[in-house]
Amino acid sequence: MKKPTIILATSNGVGMGHLARASAIALELKEFAEPIIVSMAGGIAEIPEYLGIRVEYIPGRDRGWMNRENWDEYLRDRLMALVDETDATVMTFDGVVPYPGVIAAKFSHHKLALVWVRRGFWQKLPQRFVLSMQSKMMDYVVEPGDIGRAYDFGPTSKRDDATLTSPVSLYKKESALSRDEARKVLGLDLNRPAVLVQLGTGDSDVNEKLTAALSGLLGWKDLQVILTKQPLDKNGKSLAPEGLDIRVVRHFPLARVLHAFDAGVSATGYNGVHENLPACLPTVFISNIRGTDDQEARAQWCHDFGYAIRGNQANLHDITAAVKKLQDPDIRAKLAAKCTELPKTSGGAEIAKILYQLATQEEPKRPSWITYKRLRLQDHINRGKRHIAYTGLRRLGLVYRAINPHIIVSRTKQEPPIWGSQMTAAELHPLIKGEMRFEHLISGASDEYIARRKAIAEKAYGQKTEVINTKKSK
């Protein structure tokens, strides 16, 4: 019997949470289905090489490769083409609000079931007002469990339209490398302490938090400080205090090598919490308050119940003091021991089972076209009401931006795109982050699919393109 194809689509979130969950589910699916991951996140470059799963990168609307109206149609057409190419029967979307293109793709395929993988812990932001409408457009809604769910009082916490599972994590005790094995893979000294720091850079407040956290590691004898990206600001200035032995390491998935470290400092995102703590890694969590994820509430739960230490993201001195506590071996031992009490993070397997059942049923249960049209009409009405309220604020914003324009970091060249079906991080990263438009093709793409993708690209960009230098490898 042929394995059913299941497409797992993700948005481009603040961190790696969306992509990490999709990867964990895809790994569980591999035994009895053909998972394919499509994402707007640059981290998708790591997946095919390390997890053996086929992927396609789709540029998000934030890349500015085309206008917003074209992008919605482009996303719809890309997804529809991939469904036809792979005969997929189920597509999941892991993101805060499903894009119109995702929903339109579903209603273009009457046998395609659409599943919303909707994380909890939403902050009370405007996105909550479309929760009910978006949920009704789905065939199924799944909520990946969260170990701190008791502190979730956000808009999703009281809804009864989702199937709640256990937490989802890429960490598996049985497949994680031992301390020495992991250190050899990462090139770390076997006999010196090591700390993993997973904090972002960007705006000045984010940079200040990183500097404050690294300052808390000063004085730890013979310490190796491992970061996942260079600690530099936008001007290339170092954010790290002098006196630390800092190394930047790229490895995916990090969950596999977490036992290499004596402690961790991390944002309180979904995957950071659900990888570090199950790995019993003593961790200080410093929340990122951007986006919809209520990281502060999750961090507070971890702190209150003794699983981790919370660094107050609004107080740089508190961040430094919290990280400094990790230098105490007794505190680290206590945190690690407490983490052994956590329940298993088996949500990936649970969601995979749900998806397989949907993929093998004869016909997905779904809202009717009438319901779809009604919901879309209501969406337009709601947007009209919001438009009146936002017009004044938008005009003020335009005046402000005229005085204080955005700093343009990079500009995409408005030229025909580069085409390719690259499968390694070394090849994909420069193309995804580069100045040229990039059209990524799934490995083993048929000639019919390539021709269809060419037509989609020409429609979106408004110019002719030639598909060359594609790698059609399985």
The model's pLDDT over 445-471, given as tens digits with 9 standing for 90+, comes to 999 999 999 999 999 998 888 886 555
Report the pLDDT averaged over residues 82-99: 93
Q: How far apart are CA 207 and CA 220, in angstroms?
A: 22
Q: What pLDDT score does 424 carry?
A: 93
pLDDT > 90: what percent of the chain? 67
Q: Tokens in use for 469?
A: 């230098």
Report the pLDDT averaged over residues 232-243: 91
pLDDT > 70: what percent of the chain? 86
Q: Which residue has the higher pLDDT, 6 or 131?
A: 6
Chain segment 122-132, per-residue pLDDT in tens: 988 776 667 88
Greatest mean pLDDT among 4-8, 69-73, 154-158 lies in: 4-8
Q: Which residue has the higher pLDDT, 105 or 397?
A: 105
Q: Where are any strands of DSSP class E within 278-432? A: 283-286, 309-311, 413-420
Mean per-residue pLDDT over the chain, rounded: 87
Report the pLDDT averaged over residues 320-345: 97
* Edge-first strand listing for the sheet containing 263-266: 245-248, 224-227, 194-198, 263-266, 283-286, 309-311
Is the previous residue joined to 253 through a cis bond, with omega within 30 degrees of 0? yes
Q: What pLDDT score does 69 carry?
A: 79
For residue 421, pLDDT over 70 is answered with yes
Residue 358: pLDDT band by 50, 70, 90 thresholds? very high
The b/e string for 369-385 (b: 16+ C-beta within 10 A; e otherwise) is eeebeebbeeeeeeeee
CATH numbers and ranges of domains, the chain: 5-168+350-367+406-461 (3.40.50.2000), 179-343 (3.40.50.2000)
For residue 12, pLDDT over 90 is answered with no
Contact 36, 5 (CB under 8 A): yes
Q: What pLDDT score does 390 carry?
A: 34
For residue 136, pLDDT over 80 is answered with yes
Burial of 301 by CB count in 10 Å (0-12 exposed, 13-18 middle, 19+ buried)?
Answer: buried
Neighbours of 82 (CB within 10 A): 25
Report the pLDDT averaged over residues 270-286: 97
For residue 317, pLDDT over 60 is answered with yes
Greatest mean pLDDT among 196-210, 269-283, 362-376 lies in: 269-283
Residue 201: pLDDT band by 50, 70, 90 thresholds? confident
Q: At what angle do helices 204-215 and 316-324 cross, to 10 degrees?
A: 30
Q: What pLDDT score does 416 carry?
A: 86
Greatest mean pLDDT among 8-22, 171-185, 351-365 lies in: 171-185
